[in-house]
Amino acid sequence: MIDGKETERLIAIVRSEIDLSSDPSEDEVKVLISQTVYRETFEKNFSYKDRDTLVKIIFDSIRKLDILQELIEDEEISEIMVNGYDRIFVEKRGSIFEWPKKFASKEKLDDVIQQIVSSCNRAVNESEPIVDARLPGGERVNIVLSPPAVIGPIMTIRRFPKEVFTMEKLVDNGSISAEAAEFLKAAVKSGYNCFVSGGTSSGKTTLLNVLSEFIPKGERVITIEDSAELQINSVDNLVRLETRNSNSSGCEAITIKDLIKTALRMRPDWVIVGEVRGAEVADMLQAMNTGHFSMSTGHANSSKDMITRLEAMYLQNAEIPLESIRRQIASGIDIMIHLERGENGIRRVTEISEVTFDEDKSIVLRKIFDTEFMGSKYVLNKVGELKDTYKMEKRNEIRQIQT
């Protein structure tokens, strides 16, 4: 029978005997661990299964993410929430529950956190207690240490599906109707600027990945993110940019706003901003209004609320008349797409609207597709037509000339 004290004893022995500074391979580490476990448990009543389990636990502790490695390897888990070293919650198949295991100590959790941030050249400590990072497999990680985190280190890991989503799969899953999918496909191919809104874990990044499939092959795409999450595989001429936090070594922060400015000097056809949260909204809209095609996302409860948030973000960082801001939004963003996540965990498109500017100097969202509750399910129906068809027609003409 394996107990916690025996496991910690063996981990300590292995750490003292393995020279990790020489950067041994995973196979070499596993061999050394197996030898140590066999030697130390030879006279004890351990089965082969117990020894194999010990080898994996020790290996995960030394080279992986300790007890979290088991969760990372479970493809059905979409979110891992570490609330201090002794409480871990997971989201699986749309439901959240507490996981029975915990870290051996706060120090062990600290070790795992430092391992994660160092692997992507970031730092987190008491003077810089908040950081975004990612794991080698692409999982997004947010970390908060004390003093902001009162109960101890907080870590949230967002896992993305291993399978590559396509528009066909979204249609099959009921996330979008076939007619709406065809509309978005034509809009992206025609160079419409699309903005995706929705709540946390509503599928915004997934939809952005799917929409990128329809960018014409020969165009140059630059992605800008806090932590690189987008998985764009359909574009050859792709540049990925990622922000950087400032640190105690004197490195200055590189923000999304900075990256948008430099991206415009890199001859992009498309600029894709992972998420807009603040001052970068002005630069994003300038990119949209100066001949570049763009897509982005933002957090909001509805398309209308997203427009209000964009206005507020702009006003907080620039002294510009509201009418001017609204004109920039209306001329920059062509299509608003809103996503929601249902109680059963299903993420679906609930609204697609065209963004226009009316005579009352306000932004108007003309709904093209809207959600209705029919029988026992929500259905996305076409309720309007695209008013500004010039761009779509013009871009299609260009495509025909190029081909």
pLDDT number for residue 90: 95
Mean pLDDT of 363-382: 84
Q: How do the residues of the chain divide into helix, strand and coil, expressed in percent and rounded to 5?
A: 35, 25, 40
Average predicted confidence (pLDDT) for the chain: 85
Residue-wise pLDDT for 210-228, tens only, equals 999 999 888 999 999 987 7
What are the Cα distances from residue 232, in Å, to 27, 80, 214, 372? 32, 24, 11, 32
Mean pLDDT of 276-293: 89
What's the CA gap between 323 and 352, in Å, rounded? 24
What are the Cα distances from residue 364, in Å, to 10, 19, 42, 359? 66, 64, 75, 10
CATH topology of domain 167-402: Rossmann fold (3.40.50)
Q: Which residues contact 299 (CB under 8 A, 6 or more apart)?
A: 197, 198, 199, 200, 275, 277, 309
* Tokens 């022995």 sit on residue: 13
What's the CA gap between 205 and 164, in Å, rounded? 12
Name the residue with higher pLDDT: 1 or 45: 45
- In this prediction, residue 401 has a pLDDT band, given cuts at 50, 70 and 90, of very low
What's the CA gap between 177 and 155, in Å, rounded? 36
Single out the residue of 315, 250, 307 nearest to residue 279, CA to CA. Answer: 315
Structure tokens at 62: 């030394």
What's the CA gap between 385 and 209, in Å, rounded? 25
**Measured in whole angstroms, how far is the alpha carbon of residue 54 from the centre of its chain?**
34
Question: At the top level of CATH, which class does the domain 67-161 belong to?
Answer: alpha beta
Structure tokens at 161: 């599906």
- DSSP output for 213-273: TTS-TTS-EEEEESS------S-SSEEEEE-B---TTSPPPB-HHHHHHHHTTS--SEEEE
Q: Do the two domains 67-161 and 167-402 of this chain adopt the same fold?
A: no
Mean pLDDT of 92-99: 88
How, if at all, do strands 363-374 and 377-382 pair? Answer: antiparallel
CB atoms within 10 A of CB 88: 21
Name the residue with higher pLDDT: 265 or 344: 265
Spell out the domain ranges in the chain.
1-63, 67-161, 167-402
Mean pLDDT of 297-320: 93
Q: 128: number of CA atoms within 13 Å, CB side?
A: 18
* Contact (CB, 8 A) for 73 and 22: no
**End-to-end CA, the chain:** 68
Q: Which residues contact 387 (CB under 8 A, 6 or more apart)?
A: 354, 356, 366
% of the chain beyond a pLDDT of 90:
42
> Which sign, positive or negative, has the C-alpha torsion 35, 36, 40, 44?
negative
Q: How many residues does the chain have?
A: 403
What's the CA gap between 34 and 228, in Å, rounded? 36
pLDDT number for residue 403: 47
* Tokens 């005579």 sit on residue: 359
Residue 398 reports pLDDT greater than 70: no
% of the chain beyond a pLDDT of 70:
90
Residue-wise pLDDT for 322-366, tens only, equals 999 999 999 999 999 999 987 677 889 999 999 998 877 889 999
Mean pLDDT of 191-204: 92
pTM: 0.77
Most confident of 42-46, 184-188, 253-257: 184-188
pLDDT number for residue 51: 79
- In this prediction, residue 295 has a pLDDT band, given cuts at 50, 70 and 90, of very high
Mean pLDDT of 147-152: 91
